[in-house]
Amino acid sequence: MTEDLIKAFRSLAALSQSDADLITQLFKEKTIKKGAYFLTEGQICKHAGFIVQGLMRYYINHEGEDRTYAFASENNFVCNYESFIPKTPSLKNIQALEDCRILQISYDDLQLFYKQVEQGEYLGRVIIEQVFIQTLQDLSSFYTDSPEYRYEKFIRNHPDLQQRISQYHIASYVGVKPQSLSRIRKRISTSHD
C-alpha cells in the first residue's frame, strides 16, 4: 500500500531501500468511511496523511455556513498544517466524501522522518512549500473570486473529480446554493458557445 507514497517521494528525491523501509514503518494505514472526518473544527490535527484511495473535502464555517474551499484525492497529502505544526485547535474540517484509504504519520514520527530519511529535510521543505502555495491560493480564491470563476477553476483543476463530487458539494465549493449552480453552468456554457 505504500508504493504510491514512495513513488510520490521519489518524484522529488532519490530514496534508498532503507529510506523506503523506514517510510513504510512510519506511515500507518487507516480507513475513513464516507461521511466521517479526518479532522473536525476544535480538534488538534495530530496526523499528516497521504490519500491512497478516496476523496476528501476541506471546509470552513464561514459566517454560519459550511463552505468548501478545497478537495483532495489520490496521491494528495492531507493535513491542516496550521493546527498540526503549532498543535493548536483546528478552525477547519476535513471530511471523507468517499470511503478513503490513507497512510498517516504522527507529528513525532514525522520529526523522525525529517531526521532519518537521507533527504528527509529536503522533502519536508519542498512539500510544505507546495502545500503553502496551494493553501494560500485556495484561501485567496475562496474569499475573493466570483462564483463563476470558481466554477470554471473547479472544472479546469479537477476534470477527473466532476463525476465523483455531488452537486451539493460543488455548489458549496463555488459558494452558491445548489439551485444557483445550474444557472452558473448555463451562463458559462452559453458564453463558451
Does position 137 interact with a second copy (CB under 8 A)? The reply is yes
Q: Supply the angle between the helices 167-174 and 178-191 in degrees, to the nearest 10.
A: 80
C-alpha span between 93 and 86 (Å, rounded): 17
Q: How far is the CB of 133 from a second copy (least distance, A)?
A: 6
Touching a second copy, residues 2-61 (CB under 8 A): none
C-alpha span between 118 and 9 (Å, rounded): 12
Q: Which part of the chain contacts a second copy (CB under 8 A), choosing from 100-108, 116-124, 150-158, 182-190? A: 116-124
* Residue number with CB closer to a second copy (61 or 180): 61
Query: What Rg, from alpha-carbon coordinates, does the chain have?
Result: 18
Does position 129 interact with a second copy (CB under 8 A)? The reply is yes
C-alpha span between 77 and 103 (Å, rounded): 9
Q: Which positions lie near a second copy, rule CB under 8 A?
A: 62, 81-82, 85-86, 91, 114, 121-122, 124-125, 128-129, 131-133, 135-137, 139-140, 143-144
